[in-house]
Amino acid sequence: MSSIGGTKRESTGNSDFGKKVGLFEANVIAVNPTAEEFRDILGMELKEDSKAAEYLGETKDGNIYLRVDFWLEEIKNKEKFKVSFFLEDKERENKDFTKKQYINSIGMCSWADDENNLAEWFTKGRDFRVAYTGEEDLYNFMRTWLAELDYRKVATTLQIEWKKLMRGNVKDIKDQIDGEWCGTIGALATVIVKERDGESKEYQGIYNKAFLYGGSLKQFRLVDYSNKRLQADLKNKKPRDLKGHEKFIVNVIGEYGCKDYYILKDLQDYNTDDNLVASDAYITEDGADY
pLDDT tens per residue, range 22-51: 999 999 999 999 999 999 999 999 999 999
Lowest pLDDT segment from 5-14, 103-112, 150-159, 201-210 = 5-14
Nearest to 187, CA basis, from 106, 70, 53:
70
82 vs 9: CA distance, rounded Å = 27
* Mean pLDDT, residues 278-287: 37
pLDDT of residue 12 exceeding 50: no
Q: Above 90 in pLDDT, residue 61?
A: yes
Instruction: Name which of 13-17, 113-117, 170-174 the model is least confident about.
Output: 13-17
pLDDT of residue 8: 55
Q: What is the pLDDT of residue 277?
A: 60
81: nearest Cα among 5, 28, 136, 12:
28
Measured distance CA(94)–CA(112) in Å, rounded: 10
The pLDDT score that the predictor gives to residue 1 is 73
- Among 8, 16, 2, 20, residue whose Cα is nearest residue 270: 20
Lowest mean pLDDT among 2-6, 83-87, 150-154, 284-288: 284-288
Q: What is the mean pLDDT of residues 277-289?
A: 38
What does the pLDDT read at residue 104?
98
Q: Name the strand (E) or helix (H) holding 30.
A: strand 20-31
Q: Looking at residues 92-105, what average pLDDT do you find? A: 97
Range in 2-16, 101-115, 155-169 the model is least confident about: 2-16
Distance CA 142, CA 8 (A): 15
Residue 57: partners with Cβ closer than 8 Å, 6 or more residues away: 64, 65, 66, 67
pLDDT > 80? residue 6: no
DSSP 266: B
pLDDT band at 76 (very low <50, low <70, confident <90, very high): very high
The pLDDT value recorded for residue 3 is: 74
Tally: H helices and E strands in the chain: 8, 14
Task: Say what the pLDDT of residue 5 is.
Answer: 72
Q: What is the pLDDT of residue 93?
A: 97
Of 151, 152, 227, 141, nearest in space to 186 by CA: 141
The listed range with the strongest mean pLDDT (139-143, 198-202, 273-277) is 139-143
* Of 225, 197, 195, nearest in space to 212 by CA: 225
Average pLDDT, the chain: 91
